[in-house]
Amino acid sequence: MGNSENFDVVIIGGGVAGISAAFWCNELGLSSVILESEKELGGQLLWTYNAIKNYLGIEAENGRELQKIFLNQIEKRNLSIKTNTKVSQIDTKNKTVLLEDGKILSAKFLVIATGIRRRKLNVAGEEAFQGKGILRSGKRDAELVRGKNVCVIGGGDAAVENALILAETAEKVTLIHRRKNFRAREEFIEKVKLNPKITVLTEMEITKIIGDESLEAIELKQITTNQTQIYQTDALLLRIGVEPNNELFRGQIELDKNGYCLIDSNCETSAMDVFAIGDIANPAAPTISSAVGMGATVSKVIETRQK
């Protein structure tokens, strides 16, 4: 086979949407391969620590439990899966994918399922204190902050909900938002107001994360006055939104103003026979259900075009 491989469909991304597309390609007799940069499939499921109760037909204690259910099902099929595989370049016109190891994969159809990532602050100390005071999840790390002070950055549902979760074990939670008003649901905001453990700081943004061996404080700037202050804290959780993983195909297909793939009712992008599914193409409803459905849709469309 040399330095190249050929498939009917190359699926870039091994989250729920990518898994669903591969499953349905197999169901419909299409040869496909999943390319996943991480060491295992699952995507956002691997970072979902809360119970999943809104996926019709299955309830799970967390994302990893649901991931295991999905993987158990696809293991019964002879799917081509490449994990720990970095993609260097995509050619949407010629339907080729160049891997970091130099191998080229060619296909009749490309399916983009690259998903999203948590937005970063991009401030000093953010990388240095990952796992050294910067938390991954309120649910996962609640015991780590028992009796301690913790700051949560953000103004949406995720930030406010995590502040409420962390307040169950922490001594004090400070919820910090750069705007005056929160975007979170009113029911969450009311719970925050009634919780004596939670302090709210608005019109403040974090400019630096400070510490020695672990996080010790953050530097905050008041938006309206530009005055800064050092705020002592033992831990920090960032929930400032997400952004699409679009670097590989930016400039080759049409994106919306926020960088998400624009698609039609067949999940097809502006490039012929190049499709996008899952969170990268569905900012309005980034759910497990929609990702599964989009994977099935795109496979059926491709199968029809093969005939």
Determine the Cα–Cα distance for residues 130 and 243; give it in Å rounded to an integer.
Answer: 19
Confirm whether 4-118+242-306 and 138-238 share one CATH topology. Answer: yes
pLDDT at position 306? 83
Q: At residue 1, does pLDDT exceed 50?
A: no
Tell me the two tokens of residue 68. 């295991």
The domain defined by 138-238 folds into FAD/NAD(P)-binding domain (3.50.50)
Tell me the two tokens of residue 140. 């996962």
Would the CA dihedral through 12, 14, 15, 18 be positive or negative?
A: positive
Determine the Cα–Cα distance for residues 185 and 75; give it in Å rounded to an integer.
Answer: 40
Nearest CA to 259 out of 240, 242, 243 is that of: 243
- Which residue in the block uniquely carries the two structure tokens 């028992």? 146
Determine the Cα–Cα distance for residues 56 and 230; give it in Å rounded to an integer.
Answer: 46
User: Which CATH architecture does the domain made up of 4-118+242-306 adopt?
Assistant: 3-Layer(bba) Sandwich (3.50)
Residue environment code for 20-50, b if the CB has 16+ CB neighbours within 10 A, otherwise e: bbbbbbbebebebbbbbbeeebbbbbbebbb
Residue type, 261: C
Q: What's the start-to-end Cα distance of the chain, in Å? A: 26
Residues 6+ apart with CB under 8 A from 242: 116, 117, 118, 119, 279
Q: At residue 3, does pLDDT exceed 90?
A: no
Domain coordinates of the chain in residue numbers? 4-118+242-306, 138-238
Q: Are strands 52-55 and 87-91 parallel, antiparallel or unpaired?
A: unpaired
Residues 179-213: pLDDT tens digits?
A: 999 999 999 999 999 999 999 999 999 999 999 99
CB distance 15 to 38 below 8 Å: no
Q: What is the mean pLDDT of the chain?
A: 95
State mean pLDDT over 38-51. Answer: 94
The 3-state DSSP class for residue 230 equals strand
- Which residue in the block uniquely carries the two structure tokens 């930016």? 250
- Residue 106 pairs in a beta bridge with 6, 96
CB distance 129 to 211 below 8 Å: yes
Tell me the two tokens of residue 163. 């502040």
Q: How buried is residue 64: exposed, middle or buried, by Cβ count under 10 Å (0-12/13-18/19+)? A: middle
Nearest CA to 237 out of 171, 139, 147 is that of: 139
Q: Are strands 58-60 and 80-82 parallel, antiparallel or unpaired?
A: unpaired
| Neighbour count for residue 137 (Cβ, 10 Å) | 18
State mean pLDDT over 154-177. Answer: 96
Residues 68-123: pLDDT tens digits?
A: 999 999 998 989 999 999 999 999 999 999 999 999 999 999 999 999 999 999 99
Q: How buried is residue 159: exposed, middle or buried, by Cβ count under 10 Å (0-12/13-18/19+)? A: buried
Residue type, 106: S
State mean pLDDT over 141-170. Answer: 96
pLDDT grade for 307, boundaries at 50, 70 and 90: low
CB distance 2 to 102 below 8 Å: no
